[in-house]
Amino acid sequence: MISVKQALSIIEKFKYSIGTEYIAPNKALGRIVSENVLSKTDNPPFNMSAMDGYAVCNKPFNRVYKVVGEIFAGRSMSRKKILKNEAVRVYTGSKLPQGATTVIIQEKTKVLDNNFILYTNNCLKIGQYVRKKGLDFKKNKTIIKKGKILSARDLALLISANCKKIKVFKKPKISILSTGDELIFSEKVKKDSNIFASSLYMLESLIQLSFSECNYKTIVKDDKNKIKKELSKATKSDIIITTGGVSVGKKDLIRSSLIELGYKEKFWKITMRPGKPLLFGILKSKPVFSLPGNPVSTYVCFFIFIFPFLIRVLKLKNNYYKKIAKLTNNIKFISKRESYLRGFFCKKNNENFVKCLSNQDSSLLNMLATSNCLIKIPGKKKYSKNMFVEIILFPPLF
């Protein structure tokens, strides 16, 4: 048995990369950029009017201009150039003609006869109401940095920069195998001794929330041949997660199946509660995480070990939300192992508080769903009300 810290360090030492792919920016929400993205164009691509008005040259200063044309946004004018005393009617987004250096807004003009306008102000600055070519960003400059998780705003930026394809990290593809004779799929009709494989769906969602995808999920009976067959199949994925059958009972066949398939064990069993039988190893160069079968243990092991692993594979910063909080109740629960208890965090008057939920049995989904954090308790220590503890908040939708 090794400690949680040792286990995390072994996982961290395992070097693994998933590779990159090119995708269109409009499909890239929430994806992680794997290299700096350069703009393919200036934005605006030309000097552009920022208002409705008239494009003119600011020098020499005139009061009266002859309107020689009109340019709508998205259009050009047949005459490419204007002279010093000429003006062109423009609108927000219109391309300025050659020779125009500034824009007079329509509110400051009076329309005269014969296509003449009068400017009613006393000065005319160069570049006024003009969005200069490249004001937003310039061609071949970095607009998005490597490692950024793309937001809705980023997509707009990439599209306006004419980036047709961007390089992002592939989503790690994960197979989930839930083992147990008692397990059934959620849509099935339940017989008395059956248990729904709730962890299967929970893990699928957690994977999705961890910038990854579950490309295969199944339930496997407690039968070594079946388990071995499914494990072999799962090596087509980037990562394998199993639940259940990893302890020391008669029906705990995961480890022996992996050994028979020639996997390389990195560790088995940790001094943690819940999560003691956790196993980590490599099967045909693919990492295998075998989690205990109780849904709370499954959840805690995913959150503490697999989530940071995925974050690291995707070269993100570990954005675990760790805090120190004051206990609002005594913790009756003492274990020799480092414990991760379900807690409820809240903030009052800028101070962090956490309540340790009443029942910490690792089968209790109701308690897990009610909680919003884990309380990390070192082994053997007793904690009582008003003491400070380390907590880890769950990310949104986790």
* Footprint on residues 80-139 left by a copy of itself (CB under 8 A): 91-93, 95, 131, 135-137
Task: Choose the stretch contacting a copy of itself; rule: CB under 8 A; options: 167-175, 183-191, 229-237, 254-262.
Answer: 183-191
- Alpha carbons 45 and 195: distance in angstroms, whole number: 61
Whichever of 159 and 282 has its CB closer to a copy of itself, that residue is: 159
Task: Choose the stretch contacting a copy of itself; rule: CB under 8 A; options: 6-14, 47-55, 119-127, 329-337.
Answer: 47-55
Residue 167: both structure tokens together: 């390089």
Given 250, 317, 336, 348, the residue binding a copy of itself (CB under 8 A) = 250
What is the phi/psi pair of residue 242, to 5°?
Answer: -115, 155
The CB-of-239 to a copy of itself minimum distance in angstroms stands at 17
Whichever of 91 and 267 has its CB closer to a copy of itself, that residue is: 91
Whichever of 12 and 70 has its CB closer to a copy of itself, that residue is: 70
The CB-of-48 to a copy of itself minimum distance in angstroms stands at 8
Given 35, 52, 213, 223, the residue binding a copy of itself (CB under 8 A) = 52
The CB-of-304 to a copy of itself minimum distance in angstroms stands at 15
Say if residue 25 is preceded by a cis peptide, omega within 30 of 0. Answer: no
Q: How many residues bind a copy of itself (CB under 8 A)?
A: 87
The CB-of-278 to a copy of itself minimum distance in angstroms stands at 15
Q: Is 7 in the site for a copy of itself (CB under 8 A)?
A: no
Q: Which residue has the tokens 């079968």?
A: 293
Task: Choose the stretch contacting a copy of itself; rule: CB under 8 A; options: 12-20, 186-194, 254-262, 385-393.
Answer: 186-194
Q: Is 42 in the site for a copy of itself (CB under 8 A)?
A: no
The CB-of-37 to a copy of itself minimum distance in angstroms stands at 11
Binding positions for a copy of itself, 379-398, rule CB under 8 A: 394, 396-398
Binding positions for a copy of itself, 212-231, rule CB under 8 A: 222
Whichever of 135 and 282 has its CB closer to a copy of itself, that residue is: 135
Given 64, 73, 112, 126, the residue binding a copy of itself (CB under 8 A) = 73
Closest by alpha carbon to 361, among 335, 380, 384, 382?
Answer: 335
Binding positions for a copy of itself, 325-364, rule CB under 8 A: 359, 361, 363-364
Q: Is 365 in the site for a copy of itself (CB under 8 A)?
A: yes
- Alpha carbons 99 and 165: distance in angstroms, whole number: 36
Given 5, 190, 236, 385, the residue binding a copy of itself (CB under 8 A) = 190
Chain centre to alpha carbon of residue 181? 35
Binding positions for a copy of itself, 195-214, rule CB under 8 A: 195-199, 201-206, 208-209
Given 3, 20, 36, 162, the residue binding a copy of itself (CB under 8 A) = 162
Amino acid at 58: N
Q: Judging by beta carbons within 10 Å of its beta carbon (0-12, 13-18, 19+), is residue 288 exposed, middle or buried?
A: buried
Whichever of 251 and 355 has its CB closer to a copy of itself, that residue is: 251
Chain centre to alpha carbon of residue 70? 46
Binding positions for a copy of itself, 260-289, rule CB under 8 A: none
**Spatial contact of 271 and 1, defined as CB atoms under 8 Å apart:** yes
